């Protein structure tokens, strides 16, 4: 049994990529805080990567959502899979994308995973602006992450305020007790919020000069987001750590210099909220932020990406896996497995066959829906129910080691209830038989 988990470290990225594609010359390791392979490093347990203005052609929008991973999501996944992270959920609304990645060891401790979106563009008719979100219960506490792209331009402050209030009101979930964003234990709100600097007499050249003189405090006094939070017009429920980095917009492409056709501003932000600390008898929920920074070396966009790293307190006594696999074996065109007898499945649950090194829950090779009747059809003295999942001759040629993953589906809610031990594919099984007989 794993050691009790008392805290989770969560790493956030928000990046407006300005419809550009990833540049292979700009390695994403540093943006993800992966700067060494030091074994003493405390790796994040969860990554949330929020992107804005991800390119998609109108004629391909529906197809992209269903079939394809956008190039940025793929680029982040290609890095994180090397360190044993699995993409557990994505939510996309046109150019707005939110991805959640989790260390493999935590997969079966996540419950009620749900993704939603809210459109605010053109009065709620178009998804060029708005919010996408992913919520989940992790070790017994509820976490909601919202990625937003709000109305742009200096003079449209009222529209940004309206966007926020629309999202807070209209963005709802089906998970029990957390039907709205602000009902969760922990809320993290990231994205291109598009708040600018007040003061028509403050020109782009003036702002550039103050930044070069490192007089950020003087500029932040005119930050629209801080002002509307103080006046409780929008985002008043949330908190933000001190900003110590230069404005994140607008830059010349492939440069670290401002494009002075627009007034520089802090459009890209990470905010958070913790609800009542004494809601649970066994813990006092709490958040601690370790970093809040921009990354000026990334120059593919006219925005600079922003990251933040937090620790949250969770409930260490929460049971992890509910479904336990036993004796997974490969037979001719079948994989036999057993589940513990005291588990009652739902007809919408499914079991997927994965390569043992899978890096996304979308990477199943084959899957099969679970039936209550099927799982009780065969039993033995081990008090487990035996079932088989069928596959065609070519299904197991992608790898030599595999695992089964039990996913519970309840409408929009998803839970990973069990991951089997790894088992050998047919070629390795044959080789092992030959080896043991000689």
Task: Give per-residue pLDDT as tens, 374-406.
Answer: 544 444 444 456 777 877 766 776 557 899 999
103 forms beta bridges with: 85
Pairing of strands 85-93, 334-340: unpaired
Tokens of 393: 């001759």
Pairing of strands 186-192, 141-149: parallel
438: pLDDT strictly greater than 90: no
Are residues 274 and 389 both part of a single domain? no
284: pLDDT strictly greater than 70: yes
Under a CB-based contact definition with an 8 Å cutoff, are residues 31 and 307 in contact?
Answer: yes
Residue 334: per-residue pLDDT: 80
- 275 — pLDDT class (breaks 50, 70, 90): very high
Residue 208 inside a domain? The answer is yes
Q: Give the residue numbers spanning the domain of 355.
A: 323-424
Residue 63 inside a domain? The answer is yes
Residue 333: per-residue pLDDT: 74
Question: Between the CA of residue 82 and those of 48, 86, 309, 359, 365, what are the distances in Å?
Answer: 17, 10, 20, 9, 20
CA 323/CA 331 separation, integer angstroms: 22
Are residues 219 and 143 both part of a single domain? yes
Under a CB-based contact definition with an 8 Å cutoff, are residues 351 and 389 in contact?
Answer: yes
Are residues 329 and 265 both part of a single domain? no
Under a CB-based contact definition with an 8 Å cutoff, are residues 324 and 155 in contact?
Answer: no
Are residues 356 and 274 both part of a single domain? no
Are residues 282 and 416 both part of a single domain? no
Residue 59 inside a domain? The answer is yes
- Mean pLDDT, rounded, for 193-203: 93
Q: How many structural domains are present in the chain?
A: 2
Range with the largest mean pLDDT of 14-28, 49-63, 330-344, 368-382: 14-28
CA 275/CA 65 separation, integer angstroms: 33
Are residues 127 and 270 both part of a single domain? yes
> Angle CA(61)–CA(415)–CA(357) in degrees, nearest 5?
75
165: pLDDT strictly greater than 90: yes
* Burial of 416 per CB tally in 10 Å (0-12, 13-18, 19+): buried
Tokens 């804005």 label which residue?
A: 52
Tokens 């709000």 label which residue?
A: 150
Residue 433 inside a domain? The answer is no
Whether the model clears a pTM of 0.85, i.e. scores above it, the answer is yes
CATH code where residue 337 lies = 2.60.40.2840
Nearest Cα neighbor of 88 from 14, 129, 37, 138 is 138
Residue 327 inside a domain? The answer is yes
- Mean pLDDT, rounded, for 56-70: 56
Residue 2 inside a domain? The answer is no
């Amino acid at each position: 049994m794993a050691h009790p988990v008392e805290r989770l470290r969560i790493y956030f990225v928000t990046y407006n990529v300005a419809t550009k594609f990833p540049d292979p010359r700009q390695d994403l390791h540093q943006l993800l805080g992966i700067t060494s392979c030091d074994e003493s490093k405390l790796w994040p347990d969860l990554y949330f990567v929020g992107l804005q203005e991800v390119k998609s052609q109108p004629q391909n929008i529906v197809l992209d959502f269903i079939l394809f991973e956008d190039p940025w999501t793929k680029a982040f996944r290609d890095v994180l899979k090397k360190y044993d992270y699995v993409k557990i959920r994505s939510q996309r609304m046109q150019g707005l994308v939110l991805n959640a990645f989790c260390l493999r060891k935590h997969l079966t401790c996540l419950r009620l995973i749900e993704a939603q979106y809210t459109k605010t563009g053109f009065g709620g008719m178009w998804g060029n602006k708005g919010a996408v979100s992913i919520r989940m219960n992790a070790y017994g506490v509820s976490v909601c992450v919202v990625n937003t792209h709000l109305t742009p331009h200096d003079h449209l402050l009222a529209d940004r305020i309206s966007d926020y209030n629309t999202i807070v009101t209209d963005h709802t979930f089906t998970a029990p007790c957390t039907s709205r964003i602000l009902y969760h234990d922990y809320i993290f709100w990231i994205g291109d919020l598009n708040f600018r600097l007040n003061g028509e007499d403050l020109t782009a050249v003036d702002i550039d000069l103050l930044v070069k003189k490192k007089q950020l405090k003087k500029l932040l006094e005119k930050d629209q987001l801080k002002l509307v939070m103080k006046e409780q017009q929008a985002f008043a429920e949330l908190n933000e750590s001190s900003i110590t980095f230069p404005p994140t917009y607008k830059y010349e492409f492939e440069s670290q210099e401002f494009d002075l056709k627009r007034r520089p501003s802090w459009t890209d932000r990470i905010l958070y909220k913790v609800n009542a600390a004494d809601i649970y008898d066994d813990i006092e929920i709490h958040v601690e932020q370790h970093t809040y920074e921009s990354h000026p070396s990334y120059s593919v966009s006219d925005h600079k990406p922003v990251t933040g790293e937090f620790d949250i307190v969770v409930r260490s006594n929460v049971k992890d896996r509910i479904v336990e696999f036993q004796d997974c074996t490969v037979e001719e065109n079948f994989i036999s497995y057993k589940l513990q007898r005291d588990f009652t499945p739902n007809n919408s649950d499914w079991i997927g066959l994965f390569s043992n090194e899978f890096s996304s829950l979308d990477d199943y090779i084959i899957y099969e829906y679970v039936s209550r009747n099927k799982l009780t059809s065969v039993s033995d003295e081990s008090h487990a129910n035996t079932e088989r999942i069928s596959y065609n001759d070519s299904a197991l040629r992608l790898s030599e080691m595999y695992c089964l993953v039990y996913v519970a589906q309840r409408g929009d809610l998803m839970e990973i209830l069990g991951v089997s031990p790894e088992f050998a594919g047919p070629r390795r099984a044959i080789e092992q038989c030959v080896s043991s007989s000689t």
